[in-house]
């Protein structure tokens, strides 16, 4: 069986290390390249040393050279770095799995343009469980469209740099779309002082940052006399890594295009 050749961007980070370990134990995948930025102290080291099993692939900052011959690049970095990687993958015909969050509307258009030539899965959260929750939220929003206030509460570790999380925003987008609203117009990202009564058409967001919380998300539907909560809690980054590998396999079996995890999991 021909193994899928995987490259990992940001291999020295928390997600990168989880991906390295997940690829190592997968029977149908092989690590092709491990990338880090040009100032990283990890450059030149065997990527396998990051999880205790040397693999013969040295960490590199030369993206174009490292991606030669790769099948899929998995990228959980920052928008600017991911967009640079997209340009290179586009030229080399390398598919991409993107877990990076925080893209602007213009940057999202760049992703869509690149997907005309290569396969790209973009998802704010690669967890199978979270993507099942997104599907459940569609049903909940349809049933609870009237008489229920919607709030999204998310918590992450102290090192996370964007807020609300991409996953929380993705949940908000699903809810707004199902309810026929525009999230840009109905989202409330913070409350302070005398805010007046709650507008029932809004979707609220609350953000918690602290410690080593991997990722907790709760959507609260608050009605009169009852509350419905749909919650997902991640206890390990392994869940995101396994979902990303599932997305990589999906790209190898499908034509170029822009996909999300709902496509990967057959939930559409």
Q: What is the DSSP string of 56-100?
A: S-BEES-HHHHTTT-SEEEE-S-HHHHHHHHHHHHHHT-EEEE--
**Pair (178, 119) in one structural domain:** no
* Residue 135 Cα distances to 20, 72, 142, 174, 187, angstroms: 29, 26, 11, 8, 20
Residue 53 has pLDDT above 80, yes or no: no
- The residue segments making up the domain with residue 43 are 4-126+237-264
Task: Find the mean pLDDT for residues 34-62.
Answer: 92
**Pair (76, 159) in one structural domain:** no
Please indicate whether residue 54 or residue 40 has the higher confidence score (pLDDT): 40
pLDDT in tens, 139-166: 999 999 999 999 999 999 999 989 999 8
Tell how strand 4-9 and strand 72-75 pair up.
parallel
pLDDT of residue 102: 85
Give the whole-angstrom CA distance, residue 110 versus residue 213. Answer: 32
Give the whole-angstrom CA distance, residue 82 versus residue 88. Answer: 10
pLDDT in tens, 182-192: 999 999 999 99
Question: Which CATH number belongs to the domain containing residue 88 in this structure?
Answer: 3.40.50.720
pLDDT of residue 268: 81
* 160 catalytically annotated: yes
**Pair (77, 176) in one structural domain:** no
**Pair (81, 135) in one structural domain:** no
Q: Are 245 and 169 in contact (CB under 8 A)?
A: no
Q: Tell me which of 160, 232, 233, 268 is the catalytic residue.
A: 160
Residue 52 has pLDDT above 90, yes or no: no
Q: Are 117 and 96 in contact (CB under 8 A)?
A: no
> At a CB cut-off of 8 Å and minimum separation 6, what does 214 contact?
156, 157, 234, 235, 236, 237
pLDDT of residue 113: 94
Task: Find the mean pLDDT for residues 174-181.
Answer: 98
pLDDT of residue 1: 77
Give the whole-angstrom CA distance, residue 254 versus residue 170. Answer: 24
> Minimal CA–CA distance to 168: which of 151, 185, 184?
151
Ramachandran assignment for 69, one of left (phi > 0), alpha (psi -120 to 50 degrees), beta (any other): left
Confidence of residue 232 (pLDDT cuts 50, 70, 90): very high
Q: Tell me which of 32, 90, 156, 232 is the catalytic residue.
A: 156
**Pair (10, 109) in one structural domain:** yes
**Pair (45, 119) in one structural domain:** yes
- Supply the mean pLDDT for the chain: 95
Confidence of residue 167 (pLDDT cuts 50, 70, 90): very high
> At a CB cut-off of 8 Å and minimum separation 6, what does 140 contact?
219, 221, 228, 230
* 233 catalytically annotated: no
pLDDT in tens, 205-230: 999 999 999 999 999 999 999 999 99
The structural domain count of the chain equals: 2
Confidence of residue 79 (pLDDT cuts 50, 70, 90): very high
């Amino acid at each position: 069986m021909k193994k899928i050749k995987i490259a990992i961007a940001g291999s020295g980070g928390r997600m990168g290390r989880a991906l390295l370990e997940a690829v190592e134990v997968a029977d149908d995948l092989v690590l092709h390249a491990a990338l880090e930025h040009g100032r990283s102290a990890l450059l030149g080291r065997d990527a396998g040393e990051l999880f205790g099993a040397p693999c013969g692939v040295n960490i590199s900052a030369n993206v174009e050279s490292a991606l030669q011959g790769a099948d899929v690049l998995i990228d959980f970095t920052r928008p600017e770095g991911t967009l640079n990687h997209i340009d290179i993958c586009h030229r080399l015909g390398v598919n991409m799995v993107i877990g990076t969050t925080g893209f602007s509307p213009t940057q999202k258009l760049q992703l869509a343009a690149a997907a005309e030539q290569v396969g790209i899965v973009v998802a704010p959260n690669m967890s199978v469980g979270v993507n099942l929750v997104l599907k459940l939220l569609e049903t909940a929003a349809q049933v609870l469209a009237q008489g229920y206030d919607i709030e999204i509460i998310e918590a992450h570790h102290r090192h996370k740099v964007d807020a609300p999380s991409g996953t929380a925003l993705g949940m908000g987008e699903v809810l707004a779309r199902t309810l026929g609203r525009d999230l840009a117009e109905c989202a409330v990202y913070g409350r302070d002082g005398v805010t007046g009564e709650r507008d029932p058409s809004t979707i609220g967001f609350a953000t918690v940052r602290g410690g080593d919380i991997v990722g907790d998300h709760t959507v609260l539907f608050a009605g009169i006399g009852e509350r419905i909560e749909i919650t997902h809690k991640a206890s390990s980054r392994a869940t995101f890594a396994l979902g990303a590998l599932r997305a990589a396999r999906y790209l190898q079996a499908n034509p170029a295009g822009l996909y999300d995890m709902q496509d990967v999991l057959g939930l559409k």
